[in-house]
């Protein structure tokens, strides 16, 4: 399973834009889903109303026992991909990304 972390912010025309300053997105993808896992994740995030602003951890292949969150690894086995948003609110952003 590919696993990596992206930093993202909500698109201006979405409800999340008023509430969230950004998010770290833990990404799980089955190998073979896409030639470029980061691009695939970016497309998914854009559809969900978010844009990628950076790569925090580059894609690496792991086994289940190495997964940061096992249940999301299992979900990606079913759906070919899973994305876990760890969001911060605009008011709590401090030195994090603000829009």
64-83 residue pLDDT tens: 999 998 999 999 999 999 99
| Within a domain: 98 | no
Pull the structure tokens for residue 58: 């580059």
| Within a domain: 37 | yes
Instruction: Decide if pLDDT at 25 tops 80.
Output: yes
Residue located via tokens 């909500």: 10
| Within a domain: 13 | yes
| Within a domain: 62 | yes
Domain count, the chain: 1
Instruction: Decide if pLDDT at 52 tops 80.
Output: yes
| Within a domain: 25 | yes
pLDDT given at position 95: 57
| Within a domain: 15 | yes
Which comes out higher in pLDDT, residue 19 or 97?
A: 19
Domain that holds residue 26: 2-92
Instruction: Decide if pLDDT at 96 tops 90.
Output: no
- For the residues 22-50, what does the mean pLDDT come to? 97
48 torsion bin: left (phi>0), alpha (psi -120 to 50), beta (else)? alpha
């Amino acid at each position: 399973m590919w696993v990596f972390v992206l930093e993202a912010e909500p698109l201006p025309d979405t409800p999340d834009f008023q509430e969230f300053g950004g998010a770290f997105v833990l990404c799980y993808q089955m190998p073979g889903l896409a030639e470029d896992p980061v691009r695939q994740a970016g497309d998914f995030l854009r559809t969900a109303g978010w844009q990628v602003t950076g790569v925090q951890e580059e894609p690496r292949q792991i086994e289940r026992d190495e997964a940061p969150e096992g249940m999301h690894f299992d979900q990606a086995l079913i759906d070919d991909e899973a994305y876990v948003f760890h969001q911060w609110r605009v008011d709590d952003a401090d030195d994090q990304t603000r829009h």
